[in-house]
Amino acid sequence: MEEKLQSILERAKQGAREVSTRADLESFKARLVGPKGELTEVMKGMASVPREDKPRVGRRLNEVKGELESLFAELLGAIEAKESAARLGPSIDPSLPSPDGGPGSLHPLAQVREEICSILRKVGFSVVEGPEVETEYYCFDALNTPSDHPARDLQDTYYLPESARFSNVSKMKRERYLLRTHTSSVQIRHMLKTSPPVRVVSPGRCFRRDTADATHSANFHQVEGLYVDQDVSVKDLKALLDYFIRSLLGQDARTRFRPHFFPYTEPSFEVDFSSSHLEKLGSRWIEIAGCGMVHPAVFESVGYDPEKYSGFAFGMGIERIAMILYGVDDIRYFYQNDLRFLQQFA
Ligand code: DAH
């Protein structure tokens, strides 16, 4: 009987080479362990094995059964790997040179980000960055945004599970981690580290629970600017944004401020621009940024004396500016990595 088992096992190992599909595997299994399978027949024969041999033969039977089970699992694994490779298509070699032999170029969003930062560098701003995973404190509380503010709603903000841990971002016990909804959080991180005067610009990726359409994406980019010193006024803010928008959109661009509300600035404005240079837009006013004078409560949360210092802040979407600059009418083009689109910006 033990010889029979041995021969079943050996033949099974040979037969396994012929198995290449799920159907092959099914009939292979049926031949061995199905109701009329070879191993099943041997098991039936156990009744006639002499009593004293039963433990030994039984043990060997179990071993062979176990080996066959792992053979089946191995074959199934190989079949599944083959199926998934077929779904993925031919394998690629990422070390091959790019098909057109060109050196590549910056993504249009990166080009706009660089342009924005370089315009601001010329007037003394330096670039600082912050983490994309944030805590409620940096993204909202320190920015004077109370816990019942709609921006903090689960509808608008991606919160991370309680159990999430990030070694580079520390949080207080009772607050939640989230994906930053704006780069204004970097203001707070930077002011906590330095004392005035402050002149920084912070580009980066932001996240909101938006369903994607032509002008919305759950993942987008912003640039935040912050200027703090003694005697900074709305005039300075207007002058800076005038300079900035002219440098970015052409010397004939005009700007206008509309009163608005942001929790972290008072007064707050939305900034529109208009420019004949941008033919498609004609003389229409187009909103391009939010801004205002830093709210005293924000200064207090970073330990700056609001009696002594004043400042302004502004924020804008990089995609929005890129769409205006290049006449792109659907934000999703920026993320599809279609070379026919990207090569137009090379
Ligand atoms: N955080 C605003 C947003 O995400 C943009 C913004 C508006 C930034 C006004 C500012 C500001 O610094 O003062 O829409």
- Closest C-alpha to ligand 1, atom 4: 182
* Atom of ligand 1 at shortest range from CA of 315: 8
Q: 32 and 160 share a domain?
A: no
Question: Residue 279's pLDDT is what?
Answer: 61
Q: What is the pLDDT of residues 50-87, one digit of tens each?
A: 889 889 988 999 999 999 999 999 999 999 999 888 88
Question: Residue 104's pLDDT is what?
Answer: 81
CA 203–ligand 1 middle distance (angstroms): 12
Q: 116 and 181 share a domain?
A: yes
Residue 269 in 3-state DSSP? strand
Please confirm whether the linkage preceding 197 is cis (ω < 30° from 0).
yes
Question: Residue 62's pLDDT is what?
Answer: 92
Range 169-173 average pLDDT: 86
Task: Please report, to the nearest 10 degrees, the dihedral formed by the alpha carbons of residues 188, 194, 197, 201 taken in order.
Answer: -50
Quote the domain boundaries for residue 314.
108-345
How many Å apart are CA 312 and CA 226, to the nearest integer? 6
How many Å apart are CA 79 and CA 278, to the nearest integer? 58
Q: What is the pLDDT of residues 151-165, one digit of tens each?
A: 888 778 999 998 888
Q: What is the pLDDT of residues 267-300, one digit of tens each?
A: 999 999 988 766 665 568 889 999 999 999 999 9
Q: 189 and 146 share a domain?
A: yes
CA 291–ligand 1 middle distance (angstroms): 6
Contact 253, 266 (CB under 8 A): no
Which residues, at least 6 apart from 62, have a Cβ–Cβ distance to it below 8 Å? none
Contact 5, 33 (CB under 8 A): no
Of 282, 294, 264, nearest in space to 324 by CA: 282
Question: Residue 45's pLDDT is what?
Answer: 86
In a domain, 332, yes or no: yes
Q: 140 and 211 share a domain?
A: yes
Q: 83 and 112 share a domain?
A: no
Range 124-142 average pLDDT: 97
- Computed over every residue of the chain, the mean pLDDT equals 92
Report the residue among 244, 262, 321 best suited for mutation to probe ligand 1: largest number of ligand atoms under 8 A from its CB.
262
Question: Residue 277's pLDDT is what?
Answer: 61
Q: 84 and 117 share a domain?
A: no
Q: What's the domain count of the chain?
A: 2
Extract the tokens encoding 222. 């912003």
pLDDT-derived band at 235 (thresholds 50, 70, 90) equals very high
- Closest C-alpha to ligand 1, atom 5: 315
220 DSSP β-pair partners? 206
Q: 83 and 216 share a domain?
A: no
Residues near ligand 1 (Cβ within 6 A): 182, 184, 224, 262, 265, 290-292, 313-315
CATH number reported for the structural domain that contains residue 150 in this entry = 3.30.930.10
Angle CA 247–103–88, to nearest 5: 115
Question: Residue 282's pLDDT is what?
Answer: 59
